[in-house]
Structure 1
Amino acid sequence: MHTELDTIDRQLLSALQDNARLTTNELAQATGLSQSPCWRRIRRLEEAGLIDGYRARLDRRKLGYGVVAFVSITIDHQNDARNTVFIDAVHAIPEVVMFHAVTGTADFLLMVVAADLDSYS
């Protein structure tokens, strides 16, 4: 299902992407709406699945992760069973913070964090 977005919807989505803790009043002021219509629009965007949650952005350095590495993985003789085993193994590694199946020369792209280069190795 495709939801039509107008300029105000896009402004709301942009503002919430930048700071999901904005109040309805702050969002209303930013878009020129009153609070009730602003709140209704946000609820409509949530119900349509365009907003699927609100998350905290973590500062990896303050958490002790000074290194970020992007790792490309290619699986020889790829099939569903091998992929499942690999995916399950990757999900068990807490340092892997993003995981994507990709096209091209690699099969998967991982974002890995570590305290330092020695920890990454």
Structure 2
Amino acid sequence: MTAADLDRLTSRIRQACVDAEIARHLARAGAAATEAAGDVQSRLREHVELLLDPARAYLDLLGDDRHRDVAVADLRRAGHVLTAPVRNPAAHLLLLASSAESLARYSRVTIRRAEAAARR
């Protein structure tokens, strides 16, 4: 990854976390079916789609242990949330938020590794 790629990914991670927090507030306020929630949902979907690959790279750093099992389950759930029909807007918004945050956390590790490798 180039420095520019890392900067873009870092920016995406920050925005994903902000949007996840907004989604949580909207869902808890009973506003999950509003236009604003739809906009946040669209952005969260983009974040999840774009963070899947860097989060998958995180799996390569893990051994065969419980941490890997959890990360694999999180990635699987994120992919499922993208394709699942929306039956409960609030629950779906919360699942997207949770998925975006998990993938952001894993992607941060990938970034740190790439930055450390670039300094060597």
Instruction: Kindly indicate which of the two structures has a greater share of residues assigned to helix.
Output: 2
Instruction: Kindly indicate which of the two structures has a greater share of residues assigned to strand.
Output: 1
TM-score for both structures, normalised by structure 2: 0.26
Higher Rg: 1
TM-score for both structures, normalised by structure 1: 0.26
> Which gives a bigger RCO, structure 1 or 2 (Cα 8 Å, sep 6+)?
2
